[in-house]
Amino acid sequence: MSVDGSTNIERHETLGVPFADDPIFSVRDCNVYYGDTHAIKDVSLDIARGEVISLIGPSGCGKSTFLRCLNRMNDTIDSARVSGEIRLDGEDIYAKKVDPVLLRARVGMVFQKPNPFPKSIYENVAYGPRIHGLSRSRAELDDIVFSSLDRAGLYNEVKDRMDDPGTALSGGQQQRLCIARTIAVNPEVILMDEPCSALDPIATATIEDLMEELTEHFSIAIVTHSMQQAARVSQRTAYFHLGKLVEVGNTNKVFTNPLHRLTEDYVTGRIG
Amino acid sequence: MSEFKRQKLRSPAENRALVEASLRSRYRRERRFQGYGMASVLASVAFVLFFFVTIVSQGHSAFFQTYVKLDIAFDPAIIDPDGGRDPEALSSANYKKLVKQSLQNLFPDVSGRKETRVLTGMVSSGAVYTLREMVMDDPAIVGSTQAIWFPADDEVDMFFKGRMDVTGPEKKRRFKDDQIGFADALQAQGRIETRFNKIFFTAGDSRDPEMAGIRAAATGSIFMLLVTVLIAFPLGVAAAIYLEEFAPKNRWVDIIEVNINNLAAVPSIIYGLLGLAVFINFFGLPRSASFVGGLVLALMTMPTVIIASRSAIMAVPPSIREAALGLGASRVQTVTDHVLPLALPGMLTGAILGLARALGETAPLLMIGMVAFIVDVPQTPMDPSSALPVQIYLWADSPERAFVERTSAAIMVLLAFLLVMNAVAVWLRSRFERRW
């Protein structure tokens, strides 16, 4: 239960502006259960085209679970059950005919812990385009790999050691390699699950700068524990609490003038 | 909570003294604990050493064999009285007489049936086969006289190796005085030589120790291992992948898992009975064939392979799977591109350890008739064959003194096989192990 006993979260209603005019993702009444645990409760939220939206909230509030619904990564958990409607570009991604493989080519994901494949730097980035048949020739594959590394701001650091193992890079470089790997597939949306929580401040700053450039081409949903990060990188912020979406709004507004008591408690550091 | 006395904090000096006092007994306990471990290691090493020293000291002499040089006159009157050089006549000629004559020429004083028999017994009874082979290969040698080295009889061999007891009264000895006399006389003439025992590696089993070899058994073992690895590894790995990566988590799968784990502990002779009932009686496969042996050992090894492969797959970090799935790899691609390469070293190690166990297995082979006396080296896995551990078992049961060293030598060969397999396992693991 919330700290000040405010039970108004039970009468659930998301405050602020959860909906957008031209959404790439539109989620309506999403519920997720892990076995008997009700992890996400009636969440409705739009992600606009070309925006960065931050999902914040205390641990266990369901923000990562929500993120993993968007590319159906929850499918890999046997006990997970998802209900409600999630549309990507108007198409219900949980419909029977939707292939999660295709969905994940359109919705890329960057994980909390950098997880490069135990292969060379080149192979790490080339893997996605290769399995999806995105290149017709070796030269084209090279171009995809190098420009993806360049977009991820890693090319200059690794151009002379493409055959080195990806796992030999530093933590921040590994995470940028994972981002390069994701954008090499040219997804429409990139989901980032606390991408900087394992990195030092300098590597974090590099990745935050990178995100700004990435919004030119991609929509980004980022889960973060750092409110400063949310404030720096995102246009909109969604606050989750105990599986419910409490408030959504312009980042500035959420942090300076929150509508909900819980949001205020969180952003001012009283809970979380 | 019940009442308690609120304790005053001790002074630092007092506290330190208490900790120091406890330290002494703590370190004593730790030293004792390490001592137990060291003693266990020493005991194991001592047992292994004892085993190796015994086997090697018993068996090393089997790699050498005493040879006797005889001047054989290929007398046409004996070999081919008709003079037609008919292969059939050549093959059934009385070669024993050639050996006998040559020995009698060396010892003209010897007369009487019994003495002559002892004299001819100095040379292996396999000598006649050597002679026949020579004549069949090249009939032109009939009429010539050639100096030929023959394997000595096993008792003579044992005598020269010093493994024959020649003290005490003659009556109680196996090796009699006249045999000693002949042996010494042959040696004095320079007709005795110790050579590398090629027969041991090129021949099949024989009733005569000096003509017996491990080739048939080793070939059978190799065939069996091939069959086993070709069946157990792919099936085991496929089953492990399915169970780990694709199978739904329900009661049936749980039951299957429990049963696989139980199968790994089933006594091997049960698998032999199963093989007898299923492969031989039901499917009508030949008895004593190494193919059937391989099938049985494959059944026996499969649970081990499955268990090892599953733990290897489980050890692959889930983050790798997530990375692949998140990129849009299908589940099969995730497995084949990322999980398998990482799990392969562990799978191989498990499989080779299972195979090593299968290589030393005797009991199930007895049930499917691989305990037979096999002289001919099997050419295909369908031929009747023996296996190394079975050969060891058979020789260990033989009364001849010379089979004792051959038993130990066969054990050494089996150990060499195992060492090679373990070396291959280590090599494969380092070859496939990701260096990062």
Residue A154: inside a domain, yes or no?
no
Residues of chain B with pLDDT under 50: 436
Task: Count the domains in chain A.
Answer: 1
Facing A104 at nearest CB: one of B317, B321, B327: B327
DSSP structural state of residue B62: G
A24: Cβ contacts below 8 Å, ≥ 6 apart: A47, A48, A49, A88, A89, A188, A189, A219
Are the beta carbons of A101 and B317 separated by less than 8 Å?
no
Residue A149: inside a domain, yes or no?
no
Residue A183: inside a domain, yes or no?
no
Distance CA A173, CA A181 (A): 12
pLDDT given at position A234: 92
Are the beta carbons of A76 and B333 separated by less than 8 Å?
no
Domain carrying residue A28: 7-114+190-267
Facing A167 at nearest CB: one of B330, B337, B436: B436
Q: Is A111 on the interface with B (CB under 8 A)?
A: yes
Are the beta carbons of B327 and A178 separated by less than 8 Å?
no
For residue A75, the chain B residue with the least C-alpha distance is: B325
Q: Is B336 on the interface with A (CB under 8 A)?
A: no
Facing A111 at nearest CB: one of B249, B323, B337: B323
Distance CA B365, CA B290 (A): 9
Residue A167: inside a domain, yes or no?
no
Find the CATH number of the domain harbouring A94.
3.40.50.300
Distance from CA of A184 to the nearest CA of B (A): 10
Q: Is B325 on the interface with A (CB under 8 A)?
A: yes
Are the beta carbons of B327 and A131 separated by less than 8 Å?
yes
Residues in B closer than 8 angstroms to A101, CB to CB, are: 328-330
Distance CA B214, CA A130 (A): 53
Residues in A closer than 8 angstroms to B333, CB to CB, are: 131
Residue ranges and CATH numbers for the domains of chain B are 67-196 (no CATH), 215-432 (1.10.3720.10)
Classify strands A219-223 and B192-196 as parallel, antiparallel or unpaired.
unpaired
For residue A68, the chain B residue with the least C-alpha distance is: B326
Mutate to test the interface with B, among A76, A103, A193 (most CBs of B within 10 A): A76
Residues in A closer than 8 angstroms to B249, CB to CB, are: 78
Residue A57: inside a domain, yes or no?
yes
Residue A55: inside a domain, yes or no?
yes
Q: Is A131 on the interface with B (CB under 8 A)?
A: yes
Classify strands A189-193 and A219-223 as parallel, antiparallel or unpaired.
parallel
Residue A225: inside a domain, yes or no?
yes
Give residue-wise pLDDT tens across range A21-61: 888 999 999 999 998 889 989 999 999 998 999 999 988 88
Count interface pairs A-B at CB distance under 8 A. Answer: 68
Residues in B closer than 8 angstroms to A103, CB to CB, are: 328
pLDDT given at position A6: 44
For residue B338, the chain A residue with the least C-alpha distance is: A117
Residues of chain A with pLDDT under 70: 1-12, 272
Residues in B closer than 8 angstroms to A71, CB to CB, are: 326
Q: Is A104 on the interface with B (CB under 8 A)?
A: yes
Distance from CA of A82 to the nearest CA of B (A): 18
Per-residue tokens: B84: 């037609």
Residue A182: inside a domain, yes or no?
no
Are the beta carbons of B327 and A118 separated by less than 8 Å?
no
pLDDT given at position B126: 87
Give residue-wise pLDDT tens across range A112-125: 999 999 999 999 99
Facing B320 at nearest CB: one of A108, A115, A181: A115
For residue B322, the chain A residue with the least C-alpha distance is: A73
Are the beta carbons of A128 and B328 separated by less than 8 Å?
yes
For residue A165, the chain B residue with the least C-alpha distance is: B436
Are the beta carbons of B328 and A131 separated by less than 8 Å?
yes
Per-residue tokens: B203: 């021949």
pLDDT given at position A16: 82
Are the beta carbons of A105 and B436 separated by less than 8 Å?
no
Per-residue tokens: B4: 């308690």
Q: Is B433 on the interface with A (CB under 8 A)?
A: no
Mutate to test the interface with A, among B249, B320, B327 (most CBs of A within 10 A): B327
